[in-house]
Amino acid sequence: MRAIKGVLLTCDSAVKQILLTLNEKEAFIVEDLDETHVIIAPDKVERVRQALASELEKNAFSLEANVP
Amino acid sequence: MDTSTTKAAREDPPAHLTLIVDLNPLQWELSSQASNDTPLSLSQFLAQLMIFINAHLAARDDNTLAVIGALPGYSVMLYSTDDSPPDDEAPARHQANSFQPFRMVDGRIASRIQEEMEKSTDLDGKTDRGLVGAITKALCHINRVNLLSVALTNNPESTSAMAPPSSQSPRMLILSISPDASTSYIPLMNSIFAAQKLKVKIDVCKIFGSDTVFLQQAAYLTGGSYLVLERRDALLQYLSMCFLPPASLRKVLATPSQDKVDFRAACFCHKKVVDIGCVCSVCLSIFCYPITRTSCSTCGTRFPLQTLKRLGYIRQPAAQANGRSKPNGTANGK
Amino acid sequence: MPAPAAEALPGQHILLSFLATQSQISLTRLYSKPSACLALFRLLNALERQIIMNYLWLEGPVSSNTMDVWVTRDGRAPYEAAMRTLASLQVLPSPKPGSNMLQLSPSFKKNFRLALTGGGDHMSFGVPCEKDLAGGVNVEMLDRYAANCWESILHFMVSSGTDGRASRPTKGILYLLDRSGLMAGQGAPKITSEGFQFLLTSPHAQLWTLLLQYLSITNERNIDMVEVIQFLFMLSTMQLGQEYSTEVFTNTYHSVLEDLIDYGLVYKRNPNRIYPTRLATTLTSGSSATTSSSAVSSQAQTGASLSGNSTVATAGGGFIILETNYRLYAYTENPLQIAIINLFVSLRGRFSNLVTGSITRESVRKALDNGITADQIISYLVTHAHPQMHKNNPLIPITVQDQIRLWEQEKNRVQIAEGYLWKEFTASTDYNLVLEHARSTSSVVWENEQARMFFVTPEGHASCRDFVNQRMREGGGFA
């Protein structure tokens, strides 16, 4: 029995897959719990958050570009 | 926005109250006689009424009020919130001791009643009460208030969660001291139906005298309360407990309901209150007996001769029992 | 919502929850003024008001059973909630243990009766003065004055002092904004996320939020809080457009008066005389700050008419037209309103009486990042919708509503919780034992029976560790 310090990320399964991909570039996942939960290292939270945000941003399309 | 709906459920729309005050001087004279258990004079009554009015106005800034007086032979609008405010009173130090809107409304009603009471000193030949006229005036006024509030919000039937409950819940409170005038049965019933249509509750407080059959029916049919004042020294307590709560609150705090209602009607021919009468099967007019013998005096329908014979309204050698009974159904007003 | 409002029960006025925390002595003193009783009465909800009326004219105490029989079965819950509120305000104190006799607080009963009947010699409704016809003071002018004062505060907030047109409020107001957490930072204060939320609430709610803050610092300033409330209540029962004498005011009243002039609640033209503005006279009307939209829109109307010269805005209270294609047209030229709309709309064009723009993902994201919620944006749009919009059902296009909510959800796709993961239990009994303990402290965030792992909050972790250690010492042991 042991306990490890970490940050629990609760997300949907799509985000989970993105996280796994990101993890391949730079490992931060400490424990892969299940479809919607992962534990990540506490010191990498901010970095992951930003990486995830920019990744999600790629999927957002704005009307702005079309409007003159 | 789910929170806003619960808030809306807690909050009530502004209320409109129309007061109809029976100002029959003769009855008030009788009421104030010392021979009564608890004599109540008009001025004592008005003092308590003013406090009741203040309580209604105190509840919300946008609560509205109309007061109509029913005098022998006529009715008159004593006060309405839409009246333009009177000329400014001279400021005085003692005014700091009362809330200005109360002072204004109370002063106005009191002086108007004074005026009317002085006018109506001669009572000759004016047996008819202005009650029906007052109710009709009240309904017209309520109708106008309703239309106005709809027009103001410009938002008739928006069902969006934030739609303001624009319609007020109008009520009418009749403070009655006179006995029934059977001549007013038909117009009164018509006003009751109009009130039902407008969804106006009619509350009745019988302050003096015996039960009035018609007003009892008015309260019953519109879902209002009918109350006979048992202890007249506690008038204000009765008024504030039974007649102050708006319709929405009566689901939480029960108001007295009638356990037995006298449904008797008055006949169309002689304006007498009848237990059993005859009803025209076409227009439902009520008669104590078929006066014209052959046809209905309201719609002209010919009554079947056979039935009239059978019921003994037309004398025949072989007539059966001479009871006055129903030709086409019971006439108990229901 | 800023802190004080968070404690309010749904639908209850924020002042009432503040008063409920005050001592019985203060409240009894507060009720010594008839105007205070009347103003408090108007802040209560309909049921609470009716219960007061039921008790008001009774001379002696009555058994609670007598009154309970009036309550219908469905009405039980709201009735009891209302009785709790009245007890907490010491208006209708709960009966002593072992008795069920109830009566209104004597002070409240006596003075509320006086308020309804008039009379006495308490001077609590304000001493009116002769009309000063030369002054040119009328309702319109007072509205304009109040609007200027109040909007300059809001404008300062929204621009965080960077806009040169927004004049810097007085020290007192700055202190208040800082204390209430609406703005932060010394010297050059910046608006906080609470401040952004504050801007989207109704003027009535805004006013009370600041006034409550004002009340909470009265102690530091050695001002008697009860008197301040009495004074606010007195102002709320005064009539708009009437000038009142300040001769009967106490010292406290005079010192508070100076602050209220800054806020725009009071206008002072002649020495020893004041005019209450609409901000003051509507303090206790419209029964609650966070009330149903009828009151909000009437408040919005006040707010809009406060905006001075924009005629369209005053007409129906609202000025915003929103189309299903996310385009927004706001008929206003008021810099404050434009600044507020700019919080969540990307503005595109500005005309003499109109600004256009559209609600975009970026603009809403910016608002969400500032701490504004989707519900607040939508409720702002609803309260300020142009009368033309009222033809639509629902008022705000459903696509736009949903999209704003979706954008908010999108932002919250990932939830983060710090804590500790417990794992590698050798026996399921051990796992269950420790988990049971963690559950008892309700600190479990996630658990998985098969993997024998669970995640607890940091507090829960400490407790679990102690639990395990103690068990080890006692020799209970783990496998």
Quick one: pLDDT band at residue B53, thresholds 50, 70, 90? very high
C296 belongs to a structural domain: no
The partner residue sitting opposite A1, judged by closest CB among C415, C418, C426, is: C426
No. of H helices and E strands in chain B?
9, 10
Look-up of token digits 């001087």: B25
The partner residue sitting opposite C360, judged by closest CB among A8, A30, A64, is: A64
- Please calculate the CA angle B41-B43-B49 and round it to the nearest 5 degrees: 105
Structure tokens at C225: 């809080």
The partner residue sitting opposite A9, judged by closest CB among C361, C362, C416, is: C416
Residue that is last in its domain, among C413, C441, C457:
C413
If asked whether residues C328 and C443 sit together in one domain, one would say no
pLDDT at C328 over 90: yes
C443 belongs to a structural domain: yes
If asked whether residues C258 and C322 sit together in one domain, one would say no
pLDDT at B332 over 80: no
| Mutual angle of helices C458-473 and C428-440, in 10-degree steps | 130
**C124 near B CB under 8 A:** yes
For B190-233, what is each residue's pLDDT tens digit? Answer: 899 999 988 888 999 988 887 788 888 888 888 888 888 888 88
**How many C-beta atoms lie closer than 10 Å to residue A44's C-beta?**
16
Q: Could you tell me which CATH number the domain at A7-60 has?
A: 3.30.70.1220
If asked whether residues C187 and C136 sit together in one domain, one would say yes
Instruction: Scan residues 13-72 of C and list those with Cβ closer than 8 Å to A.
Output: none
Domain of C462, CATH number, reads 3.30.70.2610
For B18-38, what is each residue's pLDDT tens digit? Answer: 999 988 888 888 888 877 777
Quick one: pLDDT band at residue C295, thresholds 50, 70, 90? very low
Res C261: pLDDT:
87
Nearest of C381, C382, C249, C387 to residue C314 by alpha carbon: C387
Of B81-85, B329-333, C182-186, which gets the smallest average pLDDT? B329-333
Q: Which is more confidently placed, B305 or C308? A: B305
Beta-ladder partners of B64: B16
Average pLDDT, stretch B318-322?
43
If asked whether residues C149 and C175 sit together in one domain, one would say yes
Question: What is the DSSP-derived secondary structure letter of residue B179?
Answer: P
Nearest of B179, B180, B177, B174 to residue B266 by alpha carbon: B180
**Average pLDDT over all residues of chain C:** 81
Res B86: pLDDT:
61
Res C405: pLDDT:
92
pLDDT at C310 over 60: no
Res C52: pLDDT:
92
pLDDT at A66 over 90: no
Report d(CA C52, CA C89) in Å as an integer.
12
- Determine, for residues A8 and C361 on separate chains, whether the beta-carbon distance falls below 8 Å: no
Domain extent listing, chain A: 7-60
Structure tokens at C152: 């300059």
For chain A, percent of residues with pLDDT exceeding 90: 0
If asked whether residues C349 and C393 sit together in one domain, one would say yes
Q: Which is more confidently placed, C200 or B189? A: B189
- Determine, for residues A7 and C430 on separate chains, whether the beta-carbon distance falls below 8 Å: no
Average pLDDT, stretch C377-406?
87
C170 contact partners, CB below 8 Å, separation of at least 6: C262
Res B162: pLDDT:
34
On the 0-12 / 13-18 / 19+ scale of CB atoms within 10 A, B170 is buried
C302 belongs to a structural domain: no
Of A36-50, B55-69, B148-162, C149-163, which gets the smallest average pLDDT? B148-162
If asked whether residues C100 and C170 sit together in one domain, one would say no
Of C165-179, C335-349, C417-431, which gets the smallest average pLDDT? C165-179
HSE of A5, CA atoms in CB hemisphere, 13 A: 7
Of A1-10, B13-22, B131-140, C289-298, which gets the smallest average pLDDT? C289-298
If asked whether residues C425 and C404 sit together in one domain, one would say no
Question: What is the DSSP-derived secondary structure letter of residue C103?
Answer: -
pLDDT at C133 over 70: no
Report the greatest alpha carbon distance in chain A: 62
- Where do the domains of chain B lie, and which CATH numbers do they carry? 14-86+97-243 (3.40.50.410), 264-321 (no CATH)
Quick check: pTM over 0.95?
no
Report d(CA C291, CA B165) in Å as an integer.
12
pLDDT at B252 over 60: yes
If asked whether residues C112 and C153 sit together in one domain, one would say no
Query: Which residue out of A2, A4, A5, A8 would a mutagenesis test of the C interface target, given it has the greatest number of C Cβ atoms within 10 Å?
Result: A8
* ipTM over the 0.95 cut-off: no
Structure tokens at B270: 């002689």
Res B103: pLDDT:
86
Cα Rg of chain A (Å, integer): 15
Residues of A in contact with C420 (CB under 8 A): 3-6
Question: What is the DSSP-derived secondary structure letter of residue C316?
Answer: H
Domain, as residue range, for C78: 3-32+34-121
How many domains are there within chain C?
4
Cα Rg of chain B (Å, integer): 24
If asked whether residues C268 and C371 sit together in one domain, one would say no
Q: Which is more confidently placed, C167 or B295? A: B295
**C422 near A CB under 8 A:** yes
For C394-430, what is each residue's pLDDT tens digit? Answer: 888 999 999 999 988 888 788 888 889 988 888 888 8
**How many C-beta atoms lie closer than 10 Å to residue B309's C-beta?**
15
Res B292: pLDDT:
64
C308 belongs to a structural domain: no
Position B330: which residue type? T
Q: CB of B131 within 8 A of CB of B187?
A: no
Residues of C in contact with B96 (CB under 8 A): 122-128, 248
B176 contact partners, CB below 8 Å, separation of at least 6: B22, B131, B204, B205, B206, B207, B209, B212, B215
If asked whether residues C139 and C84 sit together in one domain, one would say no
Structure tokens at C95: 């009966």
**Average pLDDT over all residues of chain B:** 76
Q: Do B and C touch (≥3 CB pairs < 8 Å)?
A: yes
If asked whether residues C167 and C136 sit together in one domain, one would say yes
Collapsing DSSP to helix, strand or coil, C334 comes out as coil
Res C371: pLDDT:
82
Prior bond to C335 cis, omega within 30? no
Quick one: pLDDT band at residue B315, thresholds 50, 70, 90? low
